[in-house]
Amino acid sequence: MTTFWIVIAIIELLVIIAGVVYIVLNKKNQDIMVNNAQQLVKGRLNIDDIPVDGNKKSSDIVASGLNLIKSNLLTFVESTKQNTVVLSDAIEKLTSSMKANLVGNEQIANNTMNVEERTARQLEMVEDNMSLVEANSKQLGDIGVSMNDIVDMLDETANISKKGLSSLEGYNREMDVVSDDLNNITLTLQKFNEQIQHVYEVGDFIVDISDQLKLLSFNASIEAAKAGEAGRGFAVVASEMTDMSEQTKEGMDRISAILSEIMTGSSRVTDSIVKCTDTYNDSKKAFGEVNTSFRTINSNSMDIQRRITDINKKFRVMEDNYTHSKDIAGQLYNTAKDINDMTGEIAGISQEVNAEATQIGENTEALSGMLVGIQRLLRRFDTGVSPTNNRPGREIKIAMLSMYDNEFWYGVGRGANYAMKELAELGAKVSFIPLVFTDGNNDEMVRNTIKGLVDEKYDAIIYPGFLGGIESALELARSKGIKLMTFNCDCQKPKYRLACLKADSIIQGQIAAKAAAELAGKNGQVGILLGNKNVIGNVERRKGFVDAISAYKNVKISKEILVSDDGRDVYNKTKELLLKDNSVKVLFLTNGYPEDAARAVVDAGCLGKTCIVGFDLTPALFSYIKSGAVGTIISQDAFGQGHDPIVWMYNHIVDNTPFPGETISCRNSIANASNIAELIG
């Protein structure tokens, strides 16, 4: 702390000496230089650089010195502010961790005895478990023998089932042949009965003929009687015909009787065969069921055999696991014994840790006190707006939406984080919300973000003024009484915001034109790398550049190409331009990717022929400035753009403090080869 005050005293002395030298050597810009010197002595660093003509006069040397002192001190203070945020968070986390550690150590100390008792109990349980494991070993052996016997029995059963199934299938085939033969006999008997029936019909026919013959004989006898002696021969014939008819009838009766007996026997045989066939079919069905049962038995036997085999394999695994478990049990016993021996040591170590933790806690309190002193010292330097000391009696909620894709926006984030920490001590809640754009509907994403803040009843929303397509969300926020402010740019129509903090883009373009003309030796060709024309800042920077460069008659704008707000596109188009035409001495880049443009200068082989004039100084640009790939960088107070709008809005809400104006200009500073070596990175 003492060293820091010595540095401040030396700086103040240098400022006074520089002011005296300036008054003695040159009266030009006296008021500006004296005013800046006075502001520096008072710790007010939020001031613009003193204009320097670059003619190496004594006044320029003094002005450059004052600018350098201011830039170094400003960079140091802002870096320290950010570091205090990081350090404060670290102290809070460390304090919280130490408290948790103390509680944990106390619990460890209190539980050590319980651990020791439970470890002893664990040893007993392990010993009991090992006894059980040994007892299970014999059981597992008996099960293994039984399993092997079962496997052998199942193998024999499966073989018998296969043979029985094969025999049944052969018998079933023979039964099918017998069944077919019986069916054929039945059909043969049916045909035989039909033929006998035909014989009956023939017999009836013969009987009919016999009756007719008898009738004819009778008639012949009558006629023979009538004829007398002449008809006697006919009478004999008629008598013979009658006898033959009687004999024929008697023979047919005997044949009919025999056929009837044959028919009766045939019917009995047929009925017997039918019954035999039905009985056989029933037997065949039963044998089919037996066959199915044998198949089922065989299938189940095979399945049981497979399962038993699988169980046997698992049993072998169990035996292996048992052996492994036994080893583990032994190791567990040894470990438990070691734990039991070590619990006493843990108790001693816990006490030592408690003592060390107490010492760390005391050191943390000392560090916290040192941090408070640093923060109090930082308040001596005015790098931006300071919060009011009034407390509103309620939580003030302020949200800042911001891009977060390059070093400028990272600087904005650091400023917002410092404001967040600064206002947290006053009971305010500050939310820094990075906007991550994709190839999708980004406007919808921003609108939804704002609507979410409206739902959460935020008091104020601060957003980059170049965001488009969000008018409906802003109108909703304003209708709910939410206060709005823009920063970095201001191109919303209609304008919903109370104020806007931004760099004066026209003046930035003019500064860039002057730097470009000096770098080109006030003669030759310069070019413009114009960023997104929908961003008003790019358009205004170009306008300021074009208007100011026209004052240099021998400097001409020969090239102008459009580049997107993407580092890769800036690199590719810059390199392509230089490979086609390397006569351009200076390229003025309007958007925030000077590192990519400088890399393109080097890769195109134009180092020493072409340099970049751009915006936003970052540590990565230091080497490019020293090498000459970058000629001049104009910074626009990224830290202040993140910090000041939040604090102004807080003061406005709490004290109704008016804004400095609807448009508030942030300071500009320049980095080039003449001062890069002395700037704090």
Q: How much is the pLDDT for 151?
A: 66
Amino acid at site 238: A
Cis previous bond, 658, omega within 30: no
Q: Output the six-digit token pair for 532.
A: 């997104």
Distances, alpha carbon 523 to alpha carbons 230, 510, 537, in Å = 182, 17, 27
Q: How much is the pLDDT for 250?
A: 74
Q: Is the dihedral of CA 208, 212, 217, 222 positive or negative?
A: positive
Amino acid at site 227: A
Q: What is the pLDDT of residues 235-287, one digit of tens each?
A: 677 677 777 767 776 776 777 777 677 777 667 766 666 676 666 666 666 66
Amino acid at site 30: Q
| CATH architecture, domain 505-635 | 3-Layer(aba) Sandwich (3.40)
* DSSP helix/strand/coil, 197: helix
Non-local (6+) Cβ contacts of 156 within 8 A are: none
444 Ramachandran zone, left/alpha/beta (phi>0; psi -120 to 50): alpha
Domain boundaries, the chain: 156-334, 505-635
Non-local (6+) Cβ contacts of 571 within 8 A are: 593, 596, 597, 599, 600
Q: How much is the pLDDT for 1?
A: 47
401 strand-pairing partners: 433
Alpha-carbon radius of gyration of the chain = 59
DSSP string for residues in 377-398: HHTTSBSS----S---SS--EE
Rounded to whole angstroms, how far apart are CA atoms 549 and 513? 5
| pTM for this entry | 0.52
Rounded to whole angstroms, how far apart are CA atoms 568 and 595? 11
Non-local (6+) Cβ contacts of 324 within 8 A are: none
Q: Residue by residue, what is the 3-state secondary structure of 561-628? A: EECCCCHHHHHHHHHHHHHHCCCEEEEEECCCCHHHHHHHHHHCCCCCCCEEEEECCCHHHHHHHHHC
Q: Is the dihedral of CA 63, 65, 69, 75 positive or negative?
A: positive
Non-local (6+) Cβ contacts of 278 within 8 A are: none
Residue identified by tokens 């320049």 is 670
Neighbouring CB atoms inside 10 A of 316's CB total: 12
Rounded to whole angstroms, how far apart are CA atoms 40 and 644? 19
Which residues, given as ranges, of the chain have pLDDT below 50?
Answer: 1-2, 24-25, 28, 371, 375, 377-380, 382, 680-681
Rounded to the nearest 10 degrees, the angle between the axes of helix 58-227 and helix 232-378 is: 170
CATH no., domain 156-334: 1.10.287.950
Interstrand relation of 429-435 and 397-403 (parallel, antiparallel or unpaired): parallel
What is the length of the chain? 681
Residue identified by tokens 């089919």 is 288
Rounded to whole angstroms, how far apart are CA atoms 163 and 173? 16
Amino acid at site 444: E
Selection from 93, 8, 17 nearest residue 61 by Cα = 17
635 strand-pairing partners: 669
Q: What is the pLDDT of residues 634-648, one digit of tens each?
A: 988 888 899 999 999
Rounded to whole angstroms, how far apart are CA atoms 220 and 241? 10
Q: Output the six-digit token pair for 480.
A: 């709910």
Strands across the sheet with 460-465, in order? 429-435, 397-403, 460-465, 483-490, 500-502, 663-665
Q: Output the six-digit token pair for 10.
A: 């030396």
Non-local (6+) Cβ contacts of 204 within 8 A are: none
CB 522 within 8 A of CB 552: yes
Q: Output the six-digit token pair for 371.
A: 């941090």
Distances, alpha carbon 262 to alpha carbons 184, 201, 270, 474, in Å = 20, 15, 12, 120
Rounded to whole angstroms, how far apart are CA atoms 580 and 585? 14
Distances, alpha carbon 566 to alpha carbons 411, 445, 569, 623, in Å = 18, 20, 5, 22
% helix, strand, coil for the chain, step of 5: 70, 10, 20
Non-local (6+) Cβ contacts of 344 within 8 A are: 112, 116
* DSSP helix/strand/coil, 26: coil
Rounded to whole angstroms, how far apart are CA atoms 316 and 61? 93
612 strand-pairing partners: 587, 630
CB 66 within 8 A of CB 15: yes
Q: Output the six-digit token pair for 336.
A: 């438990």
Non-local (6+) Cβ contacts of 97 within 8 A are: none
Residue identified by tokens 């008819």 is 245
Q: How much is the pLDDT for 380?
A: 47
